[in-house]
Structure 1
Amino acid sequence: MHTGSEIKDVDVFLRGVEIMFEMTEHFPDLEFIDLGSGFKVAYQQGDPETDIDLLGRKLSEAFNKFAKSYKRPLQLWFEPGKFLVSQCGYFVVKANVIKQTTATVFAGVNSGFNHLIRPMFYDSFHLIKNISNPKGTERIYTVVGNICETDTFGWDRKIAEVREGDFLVFYNAGAYGFEMSSNFNSRLKPAEVLVKDGKAHLIRRRDTIDDLLKNQVEISL
């Protein structure tokens, strides 16, 4: 079952589950019911989230009641990928230019929507912090990428003063970050690093030019 994403109201999810339970009358030999996901995660302070504890209690009660009327044992499956990994992932970029205009101060970084397309694709919000100067005076920045398109990560963001060479981190990049990345404009994909118990482990190396060319076929015409 896929009821959609960003479900904040537990009862909305349960109404979809009830419909699915009704459909099982037409399928007497089921081994499991897959309820998918769609749980809401917070991208910024104050965002509503799915109350997983409440959902678990209500869903357990509903499923246990339903299971008594079904003719065989059933497993209950979930696919909560975004809920599990979104807040685990961080996207780190380097500021390579600071540009003052009459309208805003641009912080240009060494990445673009080819690495994190969500802000450009559907105007999603990712918290951005300056990890090189975390105690600096906050200023208003428009953070932009290096692709020759409209490539904006965030407008009018309060960020500790950004200097050339500072590293900025985007939060909630664990879901739909690398998975939606591309080699647009022949740009290389970045490395991925897993941090466990304070120790960094390279789990995906960064692209090389050979990676871009490996599927090209030379022909003579």
Structure 2
Amino acid sequence: MYYSVKANSNQSIIKILSKLGSGIDVVSGEELMRALAAKVAPKKIIFEGVGKTKNDLILAIKKGIKQINVESIEELLLINKTAKSLGKIANVGIRINPNIDAKSLKKISTGNKKDKFGIPTTDLNQVVIIAKKSKNINLKGISCHVGSQIFSLSVYEKVFKKIKETARFFINNNINIKNLNLGGGMGFDKTKNKKFQIKGFKKLVDKHFRNLPYEISFEPGRYIVAESGTLIAKIITTKKSGQSNFIILDAGMNIFLRPALYGAHHNIVSIIKRRASINYNVAGPICESSDIFGKNVFLPKQYTGDYVAIQDVGAYGSVMSSNYNSKELAAEILIYKNRFTIIRKRQKIKDLISKDIIPRWLGDFH
């Protein structure tokens, strides 16, 4: 397993999973630096991502990471050129675009032919030609990731068949494929109405790969960490608008973006237990109509100063937060049994303001 850092990139989370035996999957040079700062061994790191810069590739090649998964013909040529300039040989994999519908949200689909990710299978002959000519790359893997929040095992079966077909293609062209990365995207439903069939998934993997001579890997993110996170928010005020009861929290889409961006639903519970139950719209303080965490949420009667908990925000929570409306980023606290530690301090507005630079010549501006 290679944990997908983009789901939650705090170094403490990376370190925990690494110590438990997981490899690490990164999608940017910055995520690679985070993984290295968390003392992850380079040979346990795979580098995905459609927009790797030359500096990203230099870092990855110098550090000798396990594999760079290539997303375009141009990138493949750049890796060979960069590795040659460094006097190195880079281990690479090819991320294919299989043109498979993940049957998920369009915004998190990555395997259709119109998506920006991966190399179309129609271009693999060109990959073979380049790989055989290039002296500074070692093509040893195939990767395929078609999206997130996938619950349909039939989608994975299509992916597995396409990966096996691609591996045979390369082997028939005298390229020795050793690693097959079967992607991630295992579904996690925050409202608990659906559950990913992990046992059925295992049977599917065994069916297709049990007796084949490949190292098989996956890159789950959300499935590993989503349930581990809870957002605690304080009620700033309550209000009534027409027939709707609102509670306004001190956390908004700047802290947790997914409901506004994807229409994602997360369970919201009251910290204070009271008997009366009221239908609320739970909103944040941001000046956007989409800054809503949930509508028609039944909670005990809430008052200004009370707290609510938004559940299952361990994935794509803090990593997607922002300073919109000049709001500070929230603190993060890691809890294990009877221990707890602040693993990211709350941002201070004075530090945020200090990042601005006002040109001296604005003093003469009229």
CA shift digits 1:178-221 (9 cap, x unpaired)? 11110112110000001101322111001012431454335322
51-60 or 170-179, which deviates more: 51-60
* Unaligned ranges ≥5, structure 2: 1-143, 362-366
Aligned residue runs from structure 1 range 64-213, under 5 A: 64-65=210-211, 67=212, 73-131=213-271, 133-150=272-289, 151-213=291-353
Q: In angstroms, what is the RMSD of aligned CA positions?
A: 1.6
* Greater relative CO (CA pairs within 8 A, separation 6+): 1
- Distance in 2 between residues matched to 1:50 and 1:170, nearest whole Å: 21
- Maintained 8 Å contact 1:115/1:189: yes
- Whether the aligned pair in 1 keeps the contact of 2:233 and 2:307 (CA below 8 Å) is yes
Instruction: Kindly indicate whether the alpha-carbon contact (under 8 Å) linking 2:330 and 2:347 is maintained by their aligned counterparts in 1.
Output: yes
Q: What is the identity, as a one-letter code, of the residue corresponding to 1:39?
A: M
1:177 Cα deviation from its structure 2 partner: 0.7
Paired residues in the alignment total 213
Structure 1 residues 108-133: Cα deviation after superposition (integer angstroms, max 9, x where no partner)? 111211111111112110100011x2
The residue aligned with 1:29 is 176
Distance 1:107 1:208 in 2: 25
TM-score by length of 1: 0.90
Q: More helix per residue: 1 or 2?
A: 2
- Is the contact between residue 187 and residue 195 of structure 2 (CA under 8 Å) also seen in structure 1? yes
Cα offset for 1:21?
0.7
Q: Does 1:13 align with 2:13?
A: no
Q: 1:129 touches 1:160 (CA, 8 Å); kept in 2?
A: no
For normalisation by structure 2, the TM-score amounts to 0.56
CA contact (8 A) 2:276 2:300 kept: yes
